[in-house]
Amino acid sequence: MNRTTLSLIAAAAALAAVTGFAAATAPGGDGDSAKAAARLPVERSSLLCPAPSTSDLAETAYTSYTPDSKGSGSSGKAALSPATRELTDGTGSGKGNGKADKPVLSPLKPGKPVAGESSGAESPALVGSADGNLAPGWTVQQTTEVAAGTGRGLLGVNCSAPDTDFWFPGASTAKERSDYIHLTNPDDSAAVVDVQLYGASGAIKSDVGEGIQVQPHSSVPVLLSTLTDKPQTNVTLHVTARSGRVAAAVLAADDKLGGDWLPASADPAGTVVLPGIPKDATSVRLVAFTPGDNDADLKVQLASPTGRITPAGHESLHVKSGMTAAVDLGDVTRGEAGSLVLTPTGDSAPVVAALRVVRGKGGDQESAFIPATRPVGARATVADNRAKGSTLSLTAPGAAGTVKVTASAGTEGGSPVTKTYTVKGGTTMSVRPPVPAGLKGSYALTVEQVSGGEVYGSRMLDVPDADVPGVPMFTVQTLPDDRGTVSVPHADQDLSVLQK
């Protein structure tokens, strides 16, 4: 055996020891030695929170929670800190003075939520990371109360992981709306981002949205109305990163209907589910878009507490390729909570979709958004639940499904409580979720699939005692799988490949 072969063997052994997740079989082998991949907890998570508001009246609460995960170890650390370019020299080199602001939140262990707060218009965007046993399923909720002005209401958003591609159906450049896309860069090098709008007639030409620079550890808000000369009520926003990665969310503010965060829709799919329309919704608008080459013809159905219902006059929706389609469904729930399910009537074409939901009447209206979302899957978590202000919606669009719902300990005290729910196929179940025994402060809800068909979920948080008399202050967050585990193939050592 020559020195080159020995070096290759040593390198292979070291690589296997370091990575721990490579699978190899001999050339020409039948693969019988390959084993099923294991699912292990992730070892690191990143979350970014947009700047909460430009209002001096804004009061913001942050709540962090990591559920317990088997196999995640006995230690970890996490912190959520202001996004600041002081962490680098501003050139994208990653070199800086090392100065960092004091963390807004510093969770210490899984199973125990931690809360923080800020106030006023100067609260910055936040950048956070967690590792070890605090990484799998790490969730941060940002909830802001704005008592007056454009966009007044309850604004809630789950802080999100950085990515390179986002779709936002349901945005607007109308005169009564002030919609901003917030782009936050967690990394040590600059990100370059393109922002493209699509209206009812297709792509809206604009050079302003191309090549937006987002400096390291910083956040950039872009007013969507500056990207077009002609206001449009319903648009779809596509955000792509040419280089680097960002977190993205739309802050939508209406002169009369309040405001909320519009999160990104789930990835384009032939069938989409939008869970958790409140039973007292007075107006529901559906906005859909297909990015593919083919038009999409969709059957529109409401999964009610008793089964699927086709809204009268809105049985189907035709979405032309590259064009935004919108339809006002009115008070489609008619006093019963429900979820919207869109399925192809013929050949499937990928779509993205979102709902704008309005509660209240006259001058006392408030709005929120429900984007298409992924199923609950293995586990989904939402933080900042309150004893009297949370409503959990669970939808099984196909076969019946069973989930386990765990209410965590409170931020200031209380003991976890667990309850199991079975959702009948084609229905939506709306319940007041379990509350921790002896609750003090706010708490987190974790939903885990137990058996049966796929279940989709969302949580509505309302604040009836907010300082805006008569206005039903509320926000809705969906419950997609937290992707707290990854598939790790087993490795079989085969050094014969190095001798050929």
pLDDT, position 4: 40
424 Cβ contact partners less than 8 Å away, ≥ 6 residues apart? 307, 396, 400
Q: Residue 420 is encoded by which pair of tokens? A: 């199991």
pLDDT, position 59: 95
469/168: higher pLDDT: 168
The answer to whether residues 24 and 134 belong to one domain is no
The answer to whether residues 220 and 325 belong to one domain is no
Residue 135 is assigned to a structural domain of this protein: yes
Mean pLDDT to the nearest integer, 74-78: 93
pLDDT, position 421: 98
pLDDT, position 469: 76
Residue 318 is assigned to a structural domain of this protein: yes
- Does residue 478 contact residue 368 with C-beta atoms inside 8 Å? no
What CATH code is carried by the domain that includes residue 367? 2.60.290
How far apart, in whole angstroms, are the C-alpha atoms of residue 367 and residue 250? 14
How far apart, in whole angstroms, are the C-alpha atoms of residue 483 and residue 198? 30
Share of the chain above pLDDT 90, in %: 78
The answer to whether residues 53 and 163 belong to one domain is yes
436/487: higher pLDDT: 436
The H-or-E segment that residue 288 falls in is: strand 281-289
Of 210, 227, 262, which residue constitutes the final position of a domain? Answer: 262
Residue 267 is assigned to a structural domain of this protein: no
What CATH code is carried by the domain that includes residue 62? 2.60.290.11
The answer to whether residues 363 and 443 belong to one domain is no
The answer to whether residues 314 and 251 belong to one domain is no
0.85 cut: is pTM over it?
yes
- Does residue 171 contact residue 354 with C-beta atoms inside 8 Å? no
Query: Cα 397 to chain center, whole Å?
Result: 20
Of 371, 394, 415, which residue constitutes the final position of a domain? Answer: 371
Mean pLDDT to the nearest integer, 356-376: 95
Residue 311's CB is within 10 A of a number of other CB atoms, namely: 19
Q: Residue 208 is encoded by which pair of tokens? A: 């302003």
The H-or-E segment that residue 406 falls in is: strand 401-407
Residue 24 is assigned to a structural domain of this protein: yes
The answer to whether residues 209 and 149 belong to one domain is yes
- Does residue 65 contact residue 381 with C-beta atoms inside 8 Å? yes
464/183: higher pLDDT: 183
The answer to whether residues 475 and 495 belong to one domain is no
pLDDT, position 145: 95
Q: pLDDT tens-digit profile of 222-275?
A: 999 999 999 999 999 999 999 999 999 999 999 999 999 999 999 999 999 999
The answer to whether residues 463 and 493 belong to one domain is no
Of 262, 293, 320, which residue constitutes the final position of a domain? Answer: 262
Inter-CA distances, 49 with 5, 52, 53, 129, Å? 50, 8, 12, 12
Strand, helix or coil for residue 199: strand
Q: Residue 17 is encoded by which pair of tokens? A: 């020891």
Residue 394's CB is within 10 A of a number of other CB atoms, namely: 27
Listing DSSP states for 455-482 in one string gives: -EEEEEEE-TTSSSTT---EEEEE----
The answer to whether residues 77 and 156 belong to one domain is yes
pLDDT at 91 over 50: no
The answer to whether residues 73 and 145 belong to one domain is yes
Q: pLDDT tens-digit profile of 11-37?
A: 433 433 333 333 333 334 444 444 557
Q: pLDDT tens-digit profile of 172-184?
A: 999 999 999 999 9
The answer to whether residues 159 and 258 belong to one domain is yes
pLDDT, position 29: 42
DSSP state of 164: S
pLDDT at 306 over 70: yes
pLDDT, position 17: 36
How far apart, in whole angstroms, are the C-alpha atoms of residue 324 and residue 313? 20
Number of domains in the chain: 4
The answer to whether residues 364 and 231 belong to one domain is no
Share of the chain above pLDDT 70, in %: 87
Q: What domain range includes position 418? A: 380-480
pLDDT, position 495: 61
Q: pLDDT tens-digit profile of 391-419?
A: 999 999 999 999 999 999 999 999 999 99
Q: pLDDT tens-digit profile of 113-137?
A: 999 999 999 999 999 999 999 999 9
Mean of the per-residue pLDDT values of the chain:
89
Among candidate residues 367, 324, 332, the one with its CA nearest the CA of residue 179:
367
Strand, helix or coil for residue 136: coil
